[in-house]
Structure 1
Amino acid sequence: MAQIFQRNNTWGYRVWLDSKHSKSKSGFKRRKDAYNAAIELEDKRGKNLLSEDEGISFPDYFNKWIKTYKLGRLDRTTESKYITASKVITEYFEGVAFKDVTTTNYQTMLDDYAKTHAKDTTRRFNSYIKKAVKYAINDGIIYRDFTFGAIIDGLKSKDSSLKFLEIGEAEALKKVCIETWSLNSITRAEILFGLLTGCRYGEVAGLTWDCVDLNKQTVTINKSYDYVSRSGFKPTKTETSNRTISISDETTDMLETLLEQQDILFKKHHFKNPNKHVFINNRHQVPSGNAVNKTLAQILNDISAKNIITFHGLRHTHASLLIAHGISIDYISERLGHSNVSMTYRVYTHLLENVREKDNENTMDFLNNL
């Protein structure tokens, strides 16, 4: 039974959780308010909804949540994004109880964030918080999802056409890489591989010879490589990023020649390539992301490309070329290792609109001539 008491002209309550522990709170202006709060607490106790995080602040819960469920389980880049999100939450909601966050003040924070960030970045930021809110509801710390119905705004991203190469630029890039790559210029081999497979750079840097089947002309992507701090292999970005994809004749020829060059040079150096890296240079090193982007920019400038992209732009280029040639979006999604087809639709919606227009024209031609 709750104990209601008066102290310094205000009211308070004490609720016993068990024979030794209790919770109390004072400062209520009316006895009725203290009584109702005590009844609510007793109801939660009866339903086993009380938590050690009862009354925890929004920033403290989010920080505790990412330490429990995210840090140490994701790649460093993604972890840093969660840490940055935690700093933003602390800036806006320091000292604010999680249960006191309203839809309105959350939207206000989101709108302020969107003023200096791209829409995709704002959407990702909201998704992090939305996940934490679901856990908090399940833990009985809050009872409503204040992220529900959140409106996502943000700065307009750079023109999407700048993120990938036109077909003529892609053909010129491919030609240069085929003609100039070598073990001494391994970044050019990586660029060729990225263009013809759509793999992320971490996946390219993490490719090992035991995952290459030259006879079947396939490569298996089952890990990535930390090319920033060079701490070694790490898991792929998502579970669906693990995949086996077919490779072209030109990609196969390049890999066969690369294996031969490595065999000759590494024997000369008495180097056994213990990690079986495919893309490792003559100095037995995996190139950094900066190195491969520098080479890519140099080649694109040499061929007078309109679009100077990074290595990740090769992934978009690969997808855009397949879309332009009518390849199934389901297949493209699997080849890229996207978590689901809807993600592929969202990323390449601007390209798919052109395909839809073409499909519409073909449909009308068919129906008009039926």
Structure 2
Amino acid sequence: MANIMKRGKSWQYRVSYIDKDGKRKYVSKSGFKTKRSAENASLEIETKYAHGATLDNSTITFMDYWDRWIELFKAGKHAEITEKRYTIIRGQLMKYFGPLRELKTITKSDWQEFINDFSTGKDRRIPKRRSKDTISKLNGYVRSMVNNAIDDQIVYSNFTNGVSIPDDQTESKIKYLELNDFKKLINTTTEFANYSEHFPYYLIATGALTGARYSEILGLTWKDVDFKNKQININKTWDYQFRSGFTKTKNKSSVRIIDVSDNLLIALHRLKKEQSEVYLYQGYRDKYNLVFRNARHEVPSNSSINRSLKALEKELGISDPITFHGLRHTHVSFLIYKHININYISRRLGHSNVTMTQNVYTHLLKSLEDTEVKATVDALSAL
């Protein structure tokens, strides 16, 4: 039952209820300008209680609910890099909304203002706009949290729905090597890779000829390389950032078997022979049986392999160099150029669906479509 009272120049409501342990508790709020507004607010609380809502959470803060949601549904269930992302997001939310802002008071306009502010990147030590992907991920996490709050009857609508994600005008297009540069890179890495002097070449060749992610390539063991059937089995990754060993793939679709070319198999066969000889001489045994562990028994970091790739590109006279991840884009661009079916490309990349592949490589597919249009018109004109 609600009790409405006047306190000074404003009105207050006080609603009593029985909690899940059978104890009587109270929810109150003051600061209403009129008695009617206090009554309406108290009626909303009573209605929520009648529908089974836990009033203990009715005034919960944004940050307290975030922490509870992470603890119940996220903590300890994902890779370390994902867990770290939750902490970073929490810092951004705390910085903008503060520790006392109630979850139910946040409106769609409030959230849009936050997204606009967050996108500018002005909070960074060196101000730089954040990418659309980064903003979308943050919005997605909070959207999931608010959906949970709706189920808990703390809020009635999701303020993240329909938010406008600002485009990062400074964000460059997907970078990939042109065909001639790609050929030079493949020929050099497959022909001159060796375990003692040019070990990174093996990694570069594998990235270019499979399109696999760097963590997936590092996660390969010799058991995953099927020389007879000319296939590589992607079933795990290697945590090169936190060095915690094997981890799960990005998603279920990332577990896949990739058909590989003869030039890569020849290179990998050479690597296996060289590696075995060095290990035998050193008296070393790799308990994980990793494909890409060097003679110093190290698994190369992402930064070190990118330095090696950059040096090789400079040596080959490649004027528009790419990073290791750019090898994945180059792999796709080559397959699209060769008119390989987009559904097969999507499965080969380990994307969860073909739409994701189409969205990422829109401009490449558009270029191919323009070529197909011309070919179609020419064919029809020749009738």
* TM-score above 0.5: yes
Cα displacement string for residues 326-348 of structure 1 (whole angstroms, at most 9, x for unaligned residues): 11111111101112211111111
**Which shifted more, 353-362 or 215-224?**
353-362
Query: Aligned partners of 1:105, 1:127: CA distance in 2, in Å?
Result: 16
TM-score by length of 2: 0.90
Measure how far apart 1:304 and its partner are: 1.1
Cα pair 1:123 1:152 within 8 Å, conserved: yes
Q: Is the 8 A contact 1:14 1:23 kept in 2?
A: yes
Taking the aligned partners of 1:239 and 1:53, their CA distance within structure 2 comes to 35
Partner of 1:72: 76
- Aligned-partner Cα distance in 2 for 1:66–1:168: 48
Structure-2 change in CA distance of 1:23 and 1:84 (3 Å): same
Amino acid of the residue matched to residue 172 of structure 1?
K
Q: Which amino acid aligns with 2:201?
A: R
Q: Which runs of 5+ in 2 are unaligned?
A: 121-128
- Deviations along 1:267-325, one digit per CA (max 9) or x if unpaired, are 22222221010111112221111221111000001011122221111111111111111
- What SS does the aligned partner of 1:160 have? coil
Distance across 2 between alignment mates of 1:52 and 1:98:
13
Structure 1 segment 147-166 matched on structure 2, within 5 A: 147-160=160-173, 163-166=175-178
1: distance between equivalents of 2:278 and 2:204? 22
Give the alignment of 1:268-307 within 5 angstroms: 268-307=281-320
Paired position in structure 2 for 1:314: 327
Correspondence for 2:24 = 21
In the alignment, structure 1 residue 178 sits paired with structure 2 residue 190: yes
Choose 94-103 or 262-271, whichever is displaced more. Answer: 262-271
Matched, 1:188 2:201: yes
Please tell me whether the aligned partners of residues 189 and 205 of structure 2 are also in contact (alpha carbons under 8 angstroms).
Answer: yes
CA-CA distance at 1:55 after TM superposition:
1.8
The structure-2 alpha-carbon separation of the partners of 1:3 and 1:159, relative to structure 1 and needing over 3 Å to count, comes to closer
User: 91, 103, 107: which one pairs with 1:102?
Assistant: 107
The Cα offsets for residues 216-268 of structure 1, whole Å up to 9 and x where unpaired, read as 01111111111123211111111211111111101111121122222222122
For residue 145 of structure 2, what is the aligned residue in structure 1? 132
Equivalences for residues 352-363 of structure 1 within 5 A: 352-363=365-376
Q: CA RMSD in A?
A: 1.9
In 1, distance between residues paired with 2:116 and 2:24? 42
CA contact (8 A) 1:133 1:145 kept: yes
| Greater shift in the superposed pair: 310-319 or 88-97 | 88-97
In structure 2, give the amino acid aligned to 1:21. Answer: R
Relative to 1, partners in 2 of residues 1:334 and 1:36: Cα closer, same or farther, differing over 3 Å? same
Give SS of 1:106's match.
helix
**Compared with structure 1, are the counterparts of its residues 26 and 49 closer, same or farther at alpha carbon in structure 2 (3 Å cutoff)?**
closer
Distance in 1 (CA, whole Å) between partners of 2:301 and 2:317 is 25
1:29 deviates by 4.2
**Distance of 2:349 and 2:55 partners within structure 1:** 42
Output one character per residue of 1:65-91: Cα deviation in whole Å (capped at 9) or x when no partner.
Answer: 234333433333333333222222112
Does the CA-based 8 Å contact 1:4-1:31 persist in structure 2? no
Output the CA distance in 1 between the equivalents of 2:41 and 2:173: 53
TM-score after normalising by structure 1: 0.93
Contact preservation (8 Å) 2:233, 2:258: yes
Equivalent position amino acid for 1:85 in 2: I
Corresponding residue of 2:123: none
Give the match for residue 248 of structure 1.
Answer: 261
Q: Mean alpha-carbon deviation: is it higher for 319-328 or for 180-189?
A: 180-189
Q: What is the alpha-carbon distance in structure 2 between the residues aligned to residue 194 and residue 337 of structure 1?
A: 14
Quote the offset at 1:353 in angstroms: 0.9
Moved over 4 A (4+): none
- Which amino acid in the other structure matches residue 93 of structure 1? F
The answer to whether residue 116 in structure 2 is matched with residue 111 in structure 1 is yes
Q: How does 1:24-39 map to 2 (within 5 A)?
A: 24-27=27-30, 28-39=32-43
Q: Does the alignment pair 1:59 with 2:72?
A: no
Partners in 1 of 2:339 and 2:171 — Cα distance?
Answer: 26
Distance in structure 2 (CA, Å) of the matches to 1:35 and 1:159: 55
- Distance, in Å, in 1 between the alignment partners of 2:364 and 2:71 is 39
In structure 1, C-alpha distance between the alignment counterparts of 2:70 and 2:354, rounded to whole Å: 27
Query: Aligned partners of 1:74 and 1:270: how far apart in 2?
Result: 36
1:173: how far off? 0.9
The change in CA–CA distance for 1:137 and 1:209 in structure 2 (over 3 A counts) is same
Cα shift at 1:52: 4.2
Show the counterpart of 1:223.
236
Matched, 1:232 2:245: yes
- The amino acid of 1:89's aligned partner reads L
d(CA) in 1 for partners of 2:336, 2:141: 30
Deviations 1:77-122 (A, max 9, x none): 3333332222221122112211111111211111122222122322
Name the SS for the 2:57 alignment partner: coil
Structure 1: unaligned runs, 5 residues or longer: none
Of the structure 1 ranges 295-304 and 96-105, higher mean CA displacement relative to structure 2 is found in: 96-105
Q: Which residue matches 2:180?
A: 168
Query: Which AA in structure 2 matches 1:104?
Result: S
